[in-house]
Amino acid sequence: MRALISQRLIILAVLALVIAVLPFVFPSSYYFRVASLVWVSALAAIGLNILMGQAGQVSLGHAAFFGIGAYAVAIGPAHFGIPSWAALLLGAVLSAVLAYLVGRPILRLKGHYLAIATLGLGVLMALVITTESGWTGGPDGMPVERLSLFGWRVSGSYTWYWVTGGLLLLGTWIALNLDDTPTGRAFRALHDSEVAAQVVGVDVARFKLQAFVIAAVYASFAGSALAFMNGFINPDQAGFIHSVELVTIVVLGGLGSVVGSIVGAAVLVTLPQALTVFHEYEHLLLGLIIIVSMIFMRNGIVPSLSALLSQRGRS
Residues binding other proteins (CB under 8 A): 6-7, 10-11, 14-15, 18, 21-22, 25-31, 33-35, 37-38, 130-131, 133, 138-141, 143, 157, 226, 230-232, 234, 236-237, 241, 259, 262-263, 266-267, 270-274, 276-277, 279, 282-283, 301-302, 305-306, 309-310, 313
- Burial (0-12, 13-18, 19+ Cβ within 10 Å), 225: buried
Q: Which of 281, 284, 211 is nearest to 59 (CA)?
A: 211
Taking the complex as a whole, how short is the minimal distance between the CB of residue 6 and other proteins, in angstroms? 8
* Residue with smaller CB distance to other proteins, 57 or 172: 172
Closer of 140 and 203 to other proteins (Cβ):
140
Nearer to other proteins, 80 or 231 (CB): 231
Q: For residue 233, count other CB atoms closer than 10 A to its CB.
A: 27
Of 107 and 163, nearer to other proteins (C-beta) is 163
Residue 21 or 195 with smaller CB distance to other proteins? 21
Q: How many helices (H) and strands (E) does the chain have?
A: 14, 4
- 230 versus 248: smaller Cβ distance to other proteins: 230
* CA separation for the pair 38, 161 (Å, rounded): 10
Helix 282-296 × helix 240-253 angle, to 10°? 40
* 139 versus 166: smaller Cβ distance to other proteins: 139
The distance of closest approach from Cβ of residue 149 to other proteins in the complex, given in angstroms and rounded to an integer, is 20
**Shortest Cβ 306–other proteins spacing (Å):** 4
Going from the C-alpha of 9 to that of each of 162, 179, 222, 286, the distances in angstroms are: 20, 13, 23, 33
In the bound complex, what is the minimum distance in angstroms from residue 225's beta carbon to other proteins?
12
For residue 301, the minimal CB distance to other proteins (Å) is 7
Do residues 251 and 79 touch, judged by C-beta distance below 8 A?
no
Closest C-alpha among 45, 52, 70, 102 to residue 231: 70
Q: What angle do CA 219, 223, 224 make, to 5 degrees?
A: 120
3-class SS at 110? coil
Q: How many CB atoms lie within 10 A of CB 271?
A: 14
| In contact, 9 and 180? CB cutoff 8 Å | no
CB of 314 to other proteins, least distance (A): 9
Task: Give the nearest distance from C-beta 51 to other proteins in angstroms.
Answer: 22
